[in-house]
Amino acid sequence: MTTSSSLTAPRYSRILGTGSYLPEQRLTNAELAAQLARDGVETSDEWIVERTGIRARHFAAPDQTSSDLALPAARAALEAAGVAAEEIDLIIVATSTPDMVFPSTACLLQQKLGIAGCAAFDVQAVCSGFVYGLTVADAMIKSGAASKALVIGAETFSRILDFKDRTTCVLFGDGAGAVVLGASETPGILASQLHADGRHVDILCTPGTVSGGQVLGHPLLKMDGQAVFKLAVGVLEKVARAVLEKASKTDADIDWLIPHQANIRIMQGTAKKLKLPLEKLVVTVDQHGNTSAASIPLALDAAVRSGQIKKGETVMLEGVGGGFTWGAVLLDL
């Protein structure tokens, strides 16, 4: 006997459109080095490029918040998808630099988009945030809890940088990237996997908090660069292979690798471990710096809009960040 449930077609999710936004202020390494020199901090374009591959980054204006950056990125993704804001029934914003303690940056973005009623919340997984958010949205769409989702990474990391620490302040930038994820009869998101290991909370953190109207602890970013590097290369290869196995795919099936844009050495090391030619590596870290949760969707949008990534190609997204968190998503565009 055939039941109605057995006739129900599988429900998948697929990226319908991408968008991004970078603040107007762009700082080259030379310009940033000149600013830092006025405060007695020595660095140079050569020093930064050699260690990170970064050549420039964007900083938000003093009155720009993470939701302000998210808004044009969201609108661009909606336009690319051909979806009206009113059709969105889920908003997830991945950010470590929210506008305020609460409400969520997602709710503030919802207000700015002029819509109401749909679920809206933030995801805090630092540089892995977009991968986390995309995985959550995929699960909600597959379950029927949502049909069209906005997933956004938005950061104003310039607000939490210690500009007396040249090992960290030269690394980060601000920006936002977005995708519209929609229900589909054919798979778009093929597989994903998320991980965290709280034993490593101290190697990358901003340990300050607000209490009684005052900041307690250290409110600026702290990082053990060598420890992060060692962990990142190892976990990114493992999670990529786990996701490939889950999707019944191999290294050869990857058309493009978009890792978190933190350091060109980590990115190239991951590509080599996956036996991918560097030509398949999408790189924007040179122009954007490390934009944390915004880095993957920023790179994805840049590659899609330039024609580098084409419809139907298979893309591996990978993120790793403070927490220590990491994860990967394999998708067909």
User: Which residues are identified as catalytic?
Assistant: 127, 260, 290
Task: Identify the bridge partners of residue 222 per DSSP, sorted by sequence position.
Answer: 205
Residue burial 240-264, b: 16+ Cβ < 10 Å; e: rest: bebbbeebebeeeebbbbbbbbbbb
325 secondary structure, DSSP code: E
58 near 175, Cβ under 8 Å? Answer: yes
141 near 119, Cβ under 8 Å? Answer: no
Residue burial 11-38, b: 16+ Cβ < 10 Å; e: rest: ebbbbbbbbbbbbeeebebeebbeebee
169 near 162, Cβ under 8 Å? Answer: yes
Count of alpha carbons within 13 Å of 246, Cβ hemisphere only?
17
DSSP sequence for 265-322: HHHHHHHHHTT--GGGB---HHHH-B-GGGHHHHHHHHHHHTTSS-TT-EEEEEEEET
The pair of three-digit structure tokens given for residue 325, joined into one six-digit string: 């968190």
Q: In the chain, how long is the greatest CA-to-CA distance? A: 79
Among 274, 264, 252, 249, which residue's Cα sits nearest to residue 299? 264
Strands (DSSP E) found in the chain: 12-21, 25-28, 56-59, 90-94, 119-123, 148-156, 174-184, 189-196, 204-205, 209-211, 214-216, 222-223, 256-259, 314-321, 325-332
